[in-house]
Amino acid sequence: MEPRQQGFLDKEPLKEVDEDMVSEVDLNNTVTEEEREEMENELTKLEEEITTLKQVLASKEKRHSELKHKLGITPLCELRQNFTKSWYDMQTSTAYKKTSETLSTAGQRTSAAFSNLGNAISRKFGDMRNSPSFKSFEEKVESTVSNIKQSKVGGTGGTGSFEEVLSSAAQASSQDTPTNNVTENSER
């Protein structure tokens, strides 16, 4: 009989591989022991430098704080200075200038429009005041006021009631009502 060849479907169980050995193997980066020591030394030096720099920075920050305190620079003063600088920077920016110019132009145009509107309304009121209808209304009001004054002051000696004065004023104004021929002619 021929010995049978081993294939994919072997009946032998798989053997477990030592996990520590697998974790130490780095297939992508093979570093020699000497290179590893150099990198660890460099890492140690960098950590020492970082610690030193942190200490120097803390010392400088402390000195910075002391100088500010001696000069009387408070956080509120700093905030005010920062705000002032930011406001100045914003005002000198091109976006702010363009927006300011646009709003200024819009304001001028709006002001001119309101001025023109006010002039037009004034002109219309002037035209209306000079119209025959307004003049007749004005005459009615004047005659009513004068009738009321006459009846109160020199009329029946003060024996008339307020209702009588109003009714007489209404009668006087109804007698003075002119016909509106201007409107009728313009409609034809």
List pLDDT tens digits, range 11-25: 655 555 555 555 555
Query: How crowded is residue 169: how many other Cβ atoms within 10 Å of its Cβ?
Result: 18
Residue carrying the six token digits 């004005």? 138
Q: In percent, how much of the chain has pLDDT > 90?
A: 27
- pLDDT tier at 53 (50, 70, 90 boundaries)? very high
Rg (CA), the chain: 52
Q: Which of 170, 164, 92, 176 is nearest to 137 (CA)?
A: 176
User: Is-contact 135 102, C-beta < 8 A?
Assistant: no
pLDDT category, 91, cuts 50, 70, 90?
A: confident
pLDDT at residue 33 above 50? Answer: yes
Q: What is the reported pTM? A: 0.32
CA distances from 12 to 5, 8, 9, 139 (A): 13, 10, 9, 129
CA–CA dist 2, 25 (Å, integer): 40
Neighbours of 147 (CB within 10 A): 19
Confirm if 188 and 171 have CB atoms less than 8 A apart.
Answer: no
pLDDT tens across 113-165, in order? 988 988 888 888 888 878 888 778 888 888 888 888 877 765 554 455 667 76
Q: How many CB atoms lie within 10 A of CB 9?
A: 5
* Cα distance between residue 109 and residue 102, in whole Å: 11
